């Protein structure tokens, strides 16, 4: 009571939040290293997944991820320009996929799907892209433009409303059942050999088409005049308008381009999974939004790579990390880890480097687990893929809060 | 930001006021009986004066009963009196939105058609009012259950579509003294283990025309072990109580027979890429995979399984959730087996004379499409069962009103024996299992001929005949 305005002295202050964060760091490093090493060790012991299985998971993750990437572009671009999350973007994708389905079905009934598949998917592509683009533009004009100057939360909530509206409208119009695109011809769906990977041709086509679209979009944004105005509007709407840029036009273009990418994603979905229903846009939309955040929202390259990374996390994550927990750490190694860990923790404290202390603590934890002979076998591993993917996401964001490739936001958003 | 807020404030205020007005109007017009119920409770807790002045339906009920003279005494669960010219109120609670709507919509339509076909009961029309949604979830069942239970005029409910929703709804309906008959709940927990022990979610007043999962699990195990002579099986569910329960029932029955479950795993609803789960299953080397799940996840599994190393020749078995046109039209489903209620209804006639063919023609004419799921007949039979039970126990009073005793209705339903339905002969056990309990396994060979696939029975299982 008597001491006033104390000088900042180095006192040990215990905080639950800090210790919790520390524990999380130690645990996550421990689990990741144990799982990772374990999965390799299990592989050598012959109890792990076969090489073919790993390749399969990688390819599947890549294909799924490129779809997330395409969708993530729509979220990221709109966020970059307008600063809100367009939650209806998943539904823009779904509408394209549904209309594409009816086109594909008509082509199939006419016999074109089988006689001239390339032409058919080109037609479906054009229809899906046109539908999604049109939907996105209409949404912008009807639902978001009147709210241009409203607080940021209002268009966000509107977008959730639009999303429900589109879902229910499609359910009413075409019914609740899942509709399946006609199967691609066998010359496409049969596995082919790519760089030692036996991959279904459809998957290759999906990855190639996604890559082409992404590169195309990147060139459009970085090199074209319209792209330049988009970046200018994203940076500062008012100054862009002063420079003679038609802001409304640019915003519509942004929605249109995002919609077009969703249309491409719709075609890829049709090739890869084939089943669509009015609810198909919801989860991919959420995942794609996550991918956009993972890559750094507002950042186009980030959205693409974030999508692919999320797909890989989902595909490989449960198997890379969780499967390895079934590996028992050998006792000898455990004892070494205990001693080395203790030394490292001590060393870390001496040089005041928290990172080193965390590493040491993780090693001690591994040692304890090894000495006790604990193994964890998780039943139904792949059910946890979303958990693993989102945990990975949270970890990435803890270490890099602005996403892997950094956010790219305008003046107002940074403020 | 502040300026923006100021600009919007009046509008927000207007919107809020409008919302309040709408809510008030909705409560006053749509919820007559709800309002009545609340005032009655208020009356009980405060003064009797309120009771005298309010003309609630409950009050009317009692006065007419007394005035009618010779009216039967209401049983322990109370009774419903339908005034002259009024409709008999039943409710439909099905999954009519969301991704299970394909199941709930035909269920609800089955009920509607049954009401039309049955016609009025002793001069009173039957109505389901506004169809309610069970959302295929416990929350949905809870909400719908509260709505129904607060309406004293409701006699019974047809629903729910999903076992998960029934778990929450069944206690509410039971406490309100009402009855519910589900066309498509199959979870053993809702009725009994078939050996005399009530399930953990059994409540009196619950009935169903769907089969109990335990039958289906046992049927599949029997089929795989004894007819296909396979001993290593994998089961995949999607975390839903229905699919989990069925997969577990299969697992237990299969292990009891001496088979080995090499993998028991799950997918998430909404998953599209099944490579992960299939790789995991392939690692265990099963000869057969039983995946009693739904579209679209079931479709993704069927289409992707061929590309996974080690699963090229595995036998696939789905359940009734996949006995749908949009799944069976997939080329990848050729050669698959399906377990499910015996859908070969032949010339089975419902108590009111309807056959499956009649129903399907009527359905096509009314809704312009074929039913998208397999439980329409169960729904039709459930409705006819309820209506004829109401007809039997209801008593016409002198003033033309209809008196329905709730306990009598339950007793009538529980004692159902050899009731003709489209699905077969219905008999209720003491825990509400009224289904025909005929499980069949069909082999689907040609994706362009779905009807043949649905009726190509390779194995039949009906314990107790």
Mutation for B interface: A146, A158, A176, A310, most B CBs within 10 A: A176
In whole angstroms, what is the distance from residue A408 CA to residue A297 CA?
7
Q: How confident is the model at residue B63 (pLDDT cuts 50, 70, 90)?
A: very low
Most confident by average pLDDT, A110-119, A386-395, B389-398: B389-398
Residue with tokens 């195990």: B221
Tokens of B240: 């839903």
Q: Which of B105, B299, B307 sits opposite A176 (nearest CB)?
A: B105
**Segment among A8-17, B135-144, B233-242, B399-408 with least mean pLDDT:** A8-17
pTM over 0.90: no
Q: How confident is the model at residue A58 (pLDDT cuts 50, 70, 90)?
A: confident
* Beta carbons within 10 angstroms of residue B19's beta carbon: 10
Task: Judge whether A176 is closer than 8 Å to chain B, CB to CB.
Answer: yes
* Cα→Cα distances B391→A154, B119, B402, B407, Å: 54, 11, 10, 14
| C-alpha closest to that of A148 among A239, A248, A79, A241 | A248
Contacts of A61 in chain B (CB under 8 A): 273, 275
Percent above pLDDT 90 for chain A: 29
What is the structure's pLDDT at B33? 40
Q: Is the pLDDT of residue A403 over 60?
A: yes
Inspect the interface and report whether the beta carbons of A177 and B268 lie closer than 8 Å: no
Segment A400-415 mean pLDDT: 68
Q: Are B115 and B126 in contact (CB under 8 A)?
A: yes
* Cα→Cα distances B212→B185, B194, B209, B290, Å: 8, 8, 9, 18
In whole angstroms, what is the distance from residue A390 CA to residue B164 CA?
27
**A197 compared with A75, residue with greater pLDDT:** A75
In whole angstroms, what is the distance from residue A362 CA to residue A137 CA?
51
Q: How confident is the model at residue A69 (pLDDT cuts 50, 70, 90)?
A: very high
In whole angstroms, what is the distance from residue A340 CA to residue B262 CA?
40
Inspect the interface and report whether the beta carbons of A314 and B282 lie closer than 8 Å: no
* Cα→Cα distances A389→A316, A322, B53, B182, Å: 9, 12, 62, 38
Inspect the interface and report whether the beta carbons of A57 and B279 lie closer than 8 Å: yes
Q: Is the pLDDT of residue B180 over 90?
A: yes
Q: How confident is the model at residue A57 (pLDDT cuts 50, 70, 90)?
A: confident
**Measured at the alpha carbon of residue B189, what is the angle toward residues B188 and B194, in degrees to the nearest 5?**
45
Inspect the interface and report whether the beta carbons of A380 and B326 lie closer than 8 Å: no
Inspect the interface and report whether the beta carbons of A383 and B300 lie closer than 8 Å: no
User: Please, what is the average pLDDT of chain B?
Assistant: 84
Q: How confident is the model at residue B387 (pLDDT cuts 50, 70, 90)?
A: very high
Q: How confident is the model at residue B154 (pLDDT cuts 50, 70, 90)?
A: very high
Task: Judge whether A184 is closer than 8 Å to chain B, CB to CB.
Answer: no
Contacts of B279 in chain A (CB under 8 A): 49, 53, 56-57, 319, 382
- Intra-chain end-to-end CA distance of chain A, in Å: 40
Task: Judge whether A348 is closer than 8 Å to chain B, CB to CB.
Answer: no
- Residue B61 makes CB contacts below 8 A (sequence gap 6+) with B79, B80, B81, B152
Inspect the interface and report whether the beta carbons of B295 and A177 lie closer than 8 Å: yes
| C-alpha closest to that of A299 among A71, A65, A89, A79 | A79
Q: Are B322 and B290 in contact (CB under 8 A)?
A: no
Digit-coded pLDDT (tens) for A158-213: 999 999 999 999 988 988 778 888 888 878 877 777 777 777 888 888 889 999 99
Which residues 267-286 of A have a C-beta within 8 angstroms of B? 269, 272-277, 279-280, 282-284
- Crossing angle of helices A16-45 and A385-399, in 10° steps, is 130
What is the structure's pLDDT at A398? 78
Segment A227-242 mean pLDDT: 88
Beta bridge partners of B341: B439
In whole angstroms, what is the distance from residue A321 CA to residue B254 CA?
32
Q: Is the pLDDT of residue B114 over 90?
A: yes
Digit-coded pLDDT (tens) for B131-145: 999 998 889 999 999
Inspect the interface and report whether the beta carbons of B296 and A178 lie closer than 8 Å: yes
Tokens of B262: 């090499």
Q: Is the pLDDT of residue B170 over 90?
A: yes
Distance from CA of A375 to the nearest CA of B (A): 18
Contacts of B271 in chain A (CB under 8 A): 385
Inspect the interface and report whether the beta carbons of B99 and A56 lie closer than 8 Å: no
Mutation for A interface: B296, B303, B334, most A CBs within 10 A: B296
| Chain A residue at shortest CA distance from B372 | A177
A148: DSSP letter: T
Q: Which of B280, B309, B324 sits opposite A382 (nearest CB)?
A: B280
Burial, A350: exposed, middle or buried (Cβ in 10 Å; 0-12, 13-18, 19+)? exposed
Inspect the interface and report whether the beta carbons of B330 and A52 lie closer than 8 Å: no
Percent above pLDDT 90 for chain B: 47
Distance from CA of B272 to the nearest CA of A (A): 7
A377: DSSP letter: -
**B151 compared with B271, residue with greater pLDDT:** B151
Q: Is the pLDDT of residue A7 over 60?
A: no
Mutation for B interface: A42, A51, A53, most B CBs within 10 A: A53
Task: Judge whether A64 is closer than 8 Å to chain B, CB to CB.
Answer: yes
What is the structure's pLDDT at A415? 44
Mutation for A interface: B7, B101, B248, B275, most A CBs within 10 A: B275
What is the structure's pLDDT at B42? 37
- How many residues are there in chain B? 465
Q: Which of A60, A150, A176 sits opposite B275 (nearest CB)?
A: A60
What is the structure's pLDDT at A326? 80
What is the structure's pLDDT at A319? 79
Distance from CA of B127 to the nearest CA of A (A): 23
User: Please, what is the average pLDDT of chain A?
Assistant: 85
Q: How confident is the model at residue B19 (pLDDT cuts 50, 70, 90)?
A: confident
Inspect the interface and report whether the beta carbons of B270 and A282 lie closer than 8 Å: yes
Q: Is the pLDDT of residue B176 over 90?
A: yes
In whole angstroms, what is the distance from residue A173 CA to residue A176 CA?
9
> Sign of the C-alpha dihedral, residues B429, B434, B436, B441?
negative
Task: Judge whether A157 is closer than 8 Å to chain B, CB to CB.
Answer: no
Distance from CA of B412 to the nearest CA of A (A): 36
Annotate A163-208 with DSSP letters as a single string. HHHHHHHHHHHH-SS-EEPPPPPHHHHSEEEETTEEEEHHHHHHHH
**B300 compared with B19, residue with greater pLDDT:** B300
Q: Is the pLDDT of residue A348 over 90?
A: no
In whole angstroms, what is the distance from residue A19 CA to residue A13 CA?
11
Task: Judge whether A342 is closer than 8 Å to chain B, CB to CB.
Answer: no
Q: Is the pLDDT of residue B60 over 70?
A: no
Q: Is the pLDDT of residue B338 over 80?
A: yes
What is the structure's pLDDT at A8? 55
Contacts of A272 in chain B (CB under 8 A): 272
Segment B146-172 mean pLDDT: 93
Q: How many CB pairs under 8 A join A and B?
A: 125
**Segment among A141-150, A317-326, B414-423, B437-446 with least mean pLDDT:** A317-326
* Cα→Cα distances B453→A65, B11, B337, B340, B377, Å: 36, 59, 9, 12, 18
| Chain A residue at shortest CA distance from B277 | A382
Q: How confident is the model at residue A22 (pLDDT cuts 50, 70, 90)?
A: confident
* Region class of B34: left (phi > 0), else alpha (psi between -120 and 50), else beta: alpha
Q: Is the pLDDT of residue B56 over 50?
A: no
What is the structure's pLDDT at B312? 84
| Chain B residue at shortest CA distance from A312 | B276
Contacts of A204 in chain B (CB under 8 A): none
Task: Judge whether A216 is closer than 8 Å to chain B, CB to CB.
Answer: no
Inspect the interface and report whether the beta carbons of B295 and A178 lie closer than 8 Å: yes
Q: How confident is the model at residue A297 (pLDDT cuts 50, 70, 90)?
A: confident
Q: How confident is the model at residue B286 (pLDDT cuts 50, 70, 90)?
A: very high
| C-alpha closest to that of A89 among A289, A269, A312 | A289
Inspect the interface and report whether the beta carbons of B300 and A61 lie closer than 8 Å: no
Inspect the interface and report whether the beta carbons of A274 and B303 lie closer than 8 Å: yes
Which residues 367-386 of A have a C-beta within 8 angstroms of B? 379-383, 385-386
In whole angstroms, what is the distance from residue A281 CA to residue A92 CA?
8
Distance from CA of B64 to the nearest CA of A (A): 44
Distance from CA of B237 to the nearest CA of A (A): 10
Distance from CA of B294 to the nearest CA of A (A): 10
Q: Is the pLDDT of residue B61 over 90?
A: no
Segment A212-220 mean pLDDT: 91
Can you give the three-state secondary structure of chain B, one letter per residue? CHHHHHHHHHHHHHHHHHHHHHHHHHHHHHCHHHHHHHHHHHHHHCCHHHHHHCCCHHHHHHHHHHHHCCCCCCCCCCEEEECCCCCEEEEEEECCCHHHHHHHHHHHHHHHHHHHHHCCECCECEECCCCEECCCCHHHHHHHHHHHHCCCCEEEEEECCCHHHHHHHHHHHHHCCCEEEECCCCCHHHCECCCCCECCCCCCCEEECCCCHHHHHHHHHHHHHHHCCCCEEEEEECCCHHHHHHHHHHHHHHHHHCCEEEEEEECCCCCCCCHHHHHHHHHHCCCEEEECCCCCHHHHHHHHHHHCCCCCCCEEEECHHHCCHHHHCCHHHCCEEEEEECCCCCCCCCCCCCCHHHHHHHHHHHHCCCCCCCCHHHHHHHHHHHHHHHHHHCEECCCCCEEEEHHHHHHHHHCCCCEEECCEEECCCCCCECCCCCEEEEEECCCCCHHHHHHCEEEEECCCC
In whole angstroms, what is the distance from residue A180 CA to residue B327 CA?
8
Q: How confident is the model at residue B308 (pLDDT cuts 50, 70, 90)?
A: confident
H or E segment and range at residue A234: helix A225-235
Contacts of B300 in chain A (CB under 8 A): 273, 275
Burial, A158: exposed, middle or buried (Cβ in 10 Å; 0-12, 13-18, 19+)? buried
H or E segment and range at residue A276: strand A275-276
Burial, B83: exposed, middle or buried (Cβ in 10 Å; 0-12, 13-18, 19+)? middle
What is the structure's pLDDT at B52? 40
Tokens of B75: 């049983």
Distance from CA of B316 to the nearest CA of A (A): 19
Beta bridge partners of B158: B92, B181
Burial, A214: exposed, middle or buried (Cβ in 10 Å; 0-12, 13-18, 19+)? buried
In whole angstroms, what is the distance from residue B231 CA to residue B254 CA?
9
Digit-coded pLDDT (tens) for B189-221: 899 888 788 988 999 999 999 988 888 888 999
């Amino acid at each position: 009571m008597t001491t006033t305005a104390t000088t900042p002295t180095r006192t040990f202050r215990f905080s639950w939040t800090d210790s919790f964060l520390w524990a999380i760091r130690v645990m996550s490093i421990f689990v990741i290293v144990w799982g990772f090493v374990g999965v390799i060790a299990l592989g050598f012991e012959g109890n792990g997944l076969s090489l073919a299985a790993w390749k399969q998971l990688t390819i599947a993750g890549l294909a799924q991820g490129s779809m997330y990437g395409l969708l993530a572009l729509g979220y990221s671009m709109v966020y970059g320009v307008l600063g809100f999350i367009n939650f209806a973007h998943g539904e823009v994708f779904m509408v394209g996929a549904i209309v594409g389905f009816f086109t594909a079905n008509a082509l199939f009934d006419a016999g074109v799907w089988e006689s001239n598949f390339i032409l058919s998917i080109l037609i479906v592509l054009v229809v899906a892209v046109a539908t999604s683009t049109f939907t996105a533009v209409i949404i912008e004009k009807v639902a978001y433009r009147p709210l241009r100057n409203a607080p940021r939360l209002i268009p966000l909530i509107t977008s959730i409303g639009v999303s429900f509206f589109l879902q229910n409208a499609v359910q009413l119009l075409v019914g609740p059942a899942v509709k399946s695109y006609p199967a691609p011809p066998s010359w496409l769906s049969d596995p082919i050999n790519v760089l030692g990977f036996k991959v279904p041709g459809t998957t290759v086509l999906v990855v190639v088409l996604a890559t082409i679209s992404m590169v195309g979009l990147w060139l459009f944004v970085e090199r074209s005049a319209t792209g330049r105005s988009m970046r200018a509007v994203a940076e500062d709407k008012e100054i862009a308008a002063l420079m003679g840029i038609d802001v409304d036009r640019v915003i519509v273009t942004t929605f249109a381009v995002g919609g077009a990418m969703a249309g491409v994603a719709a075609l890829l979905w049709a090739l890869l999974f084939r089943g669509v229903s009015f609810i198909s846009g919801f989860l991919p939309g959420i995942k794609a939004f996550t991918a956009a955040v993972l890559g750094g929202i507002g950042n186009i390259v980030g959205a693409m790579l974030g999508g692919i990374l999320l797909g890989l996390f989902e595909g490989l994550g449960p198997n890379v990390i969780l499967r390895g927990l079934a590996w028992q750490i050998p006792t000898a190694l455990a004892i070494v880890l205990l001693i080395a860990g203790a030394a490292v923790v001590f060393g870390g404290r001496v040089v005041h480097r928290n990172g080193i202390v965390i590493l040491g603590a993780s090693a001690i934890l591994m040692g304890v687990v090894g000495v006790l002979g604990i193994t964890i076998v998780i039943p139904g591993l792949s059910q946890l893929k979303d958990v693993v993917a989102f945990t990975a996401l949270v970890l990435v964001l803890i270490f890099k809060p602005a996403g892997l490739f950094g956010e790219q936001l305008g003046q107002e958003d940074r403020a | 930001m502040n300026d923006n807020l100021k600009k919007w404030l009046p509008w927000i205020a207007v919107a809020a006021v409008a919302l309040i007005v709408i809510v008030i109007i909705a409560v006053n017009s749509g919820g007559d009986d709800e309002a009545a119920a609340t005032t009655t409770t208020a009356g009980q807790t405060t003064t009797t004066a309120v009771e005298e002045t309010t003309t609630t339906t409950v009050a009317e009920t009692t006065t007419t009963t007394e005035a009618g003279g010779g009216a039967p005494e209401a049983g322990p669960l109370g009774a419903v009196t339908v005034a002259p010219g009024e409709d008999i109120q039943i409710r439909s609670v099905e999954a009519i939105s969301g991704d299970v709507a394909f199941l709930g919509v035909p269920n609800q339509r089955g009920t509607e058609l049954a009401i039309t076909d049955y016609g009025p009961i002793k001069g009173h029309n039957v109505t389901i009012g506004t169809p309610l949604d069970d959302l295929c979830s416990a929350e949905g069942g809870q909400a719908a259950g509260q709505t129904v239970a607060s309406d004293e005029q409701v006699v019974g409910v047809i629903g729910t579509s999903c076992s998960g929703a029934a778990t929450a709804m069944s206690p509410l309906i039971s406490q309100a003294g009402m009855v519910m008959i589900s066309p498509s709940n199959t979870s053993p927990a809702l009725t009994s283990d078939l050996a005399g022990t009530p399930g953990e979610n059994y409540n009196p007043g619950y009935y169903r025309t769907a089969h109990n999962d335990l039958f289906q699990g046992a049927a599949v195990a029997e089929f795989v072990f004894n007819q296909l002579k396979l001993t290593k099986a994998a089961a995949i569910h999607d975390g839903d109580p229905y699919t989990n329960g069925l997969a577990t029932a299969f697992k237990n029955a299969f292990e009891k027979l001496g088979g080995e479950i090499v993998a028991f795993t799950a997918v998430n609803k909404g998953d599209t890429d099944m490579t992960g789960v299939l790789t995991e299953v392939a690692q265990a080397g099963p000869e057969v995979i039983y995946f009693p799940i739904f579209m679209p996840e079931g479709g993704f599994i069927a289409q992707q399984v061929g590309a996974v190393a080690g699963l090229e020749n595995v036998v696939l078995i789905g359940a009734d959730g996949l006995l749908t046109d949009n799944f069976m039209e997939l080329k990848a489903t050729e050669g698959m087996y399906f377990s499910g209620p015996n859908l070969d209804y032949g010339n089975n006639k419902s108590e009111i004379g309807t056959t499956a063919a009649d129903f399907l023609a009527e359905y096509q004419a009314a809704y312009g499409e074929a039913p998208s799921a397999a439980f329409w007949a169960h729904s039709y039979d459930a409705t006819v069962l309820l209506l004829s039970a109401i007809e039997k126990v209801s008593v016409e009073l002198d003033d033309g009103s209809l008196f329905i005793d709730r306990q009598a209705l339950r007793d009538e339903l529980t004692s159902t024996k050899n009731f003709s339905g489209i699905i077969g002969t219905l008999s209720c056990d003491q825990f509400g299992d009224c289904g025909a309990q005929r499980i069949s396994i069909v082999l689907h060979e040609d994706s362009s001929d779905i009807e043949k696939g649905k009726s190509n029975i390779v194995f039949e299982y009906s314990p107790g005949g």
